[in-house]
Structure 1
Amino acid sequence: MDTHSGTALVVVDMINTYDHPDAELLVESVRKVLPAVSRAIAGARRHGVEVIYVNDNFGRWRSHHDELVTAALQGPHAELVRPVVPDEDSLFVVKARHSVFYQTPLEYLLQQHRVGHVVLCGQATEQCVLYSALDAHIRHLDVTVLRDAVAHIHADLADAALRMMERNMGARLTDTDTMRW
Structure 2
Amino acid sequence: MSTPQNGDLHGNAPENSPTVILIIDIINDFEFPGGDELIKHTEPVVNCIAELRKKADSKKIPVIYVNDNFGKWQSDFRTLLKHCLTKTSKSRSLVGIIKPRRKDYFVLKPKNSGFYSTTLDLLLDYLKAETLIITGLTADVCILMTAADAFLRDYKLLVPSDCTASINANDHQQALSYIKRVLRADTRPSDQIIF
TM-score normalised by length of structure 1: 0.95
Q: Is the 8 A contact 2:24 2:136 kept in 1?
A: yes
Q: Which residue number in structure 1 is paired with residue 8 of structure 2?
A: none
1:45 aligns with 2:57: yes
SS of 2:122 mapped into structure 1: helix
Q: Which residue number in structure 1 is paired with residue 128 of structure 2?
A: 114
Residues in 1 aligned to 2:154 and 2:98: alpha-carbon distance in whole angstroms: 28
Deviations for 1:102-157, whole angstroms, at most 9, x for unmatched residues?
A: 11110111001100110011011111111111110011111100110101111111
Q: Is the 8 A contact 1:5 1:117 kept in 2?
A: no
Q: Which residue number in structure 2 is paired with residue 162 of structure 1?
A: 176
Counterpart AA for 2:21: L
Residues in 2 aligned to 1:180 and 1:90: alpha-carbon distance in whole angstroms: 21
Q: Is the 8 A contact 2:17 2:127 kept in 1?
A: no
Counterpart AA for 2:128: R
Residues in 1 aligned to 2:64 and 2:91: alpha-carbon distance in whole angstroms: 22
Q: Which residue number in structure 1 is paired with residue 147 of structure 2?
A: 133
Match of 2:165 among 151, 157, 166: 151
Structure of higher RCO (CA pairs closer than 8 Å, 6+ residues apart): 1
Q: Is the 8 A contact 1:12 1:55 kept in 2?
A: yes
Counterpart AA for 1:13: D
Q: Is the 8 A contact 1:6 1:115 kept in 2?
A: yes
Deviates more, 1:54-63 or 1:132-141: 54-63
Q: Which residue number in structure 1 is paired with residue 27 of structure 2?
A: 15
Q: Which residue number in structure 2 is paired with residue 177 of structure 1?
A: 191
Alignment gaps of 5+ in structure 1: none
Structure 1 segments, 4+ long, off by >6 Å, are: none
Match of 1:35 among 19, 25, 47: 47
Larger Rg: 2
Larger strand fraction of residues: 1
Residues in 1 aligned to 2:137 and 2:28: alpha-carbon distance in whole angstroms: 10
Residues in 2 aligned to 1:19 and 1:109: alpha-carbon distance in whole angstroms: 30
Match of 2:117 among 93, 97, 103: 103
Relative distance call for 1:177 and 1:73 in structure 2 (3 A) is same
Q: Is the 8 A contact 2:17 2:61 kept in 1?
A: no
RMSD: 1.2
Q: Is the 8 A contact 2:17 2:62 kept in 1?
A: no
The alpha carbon displacement at 1:80 in A equals 1.1
Residues in 2 aligned to 1:63 and 1:40: alpha-carbon distance in whole angstroms: 29
Residues in 2 aligned to 1:13 and 1:5: alpha-carbon distance in whole angstroms: 22
SS of 1:86 mapped into structure 2: coil
SS of 2:159 mapped into structure 1: strand
Residues in 2 aligned to 1:91 and 1:162: alpha-carbon distance in whole angstroms: 26
* Identity in percent: 29
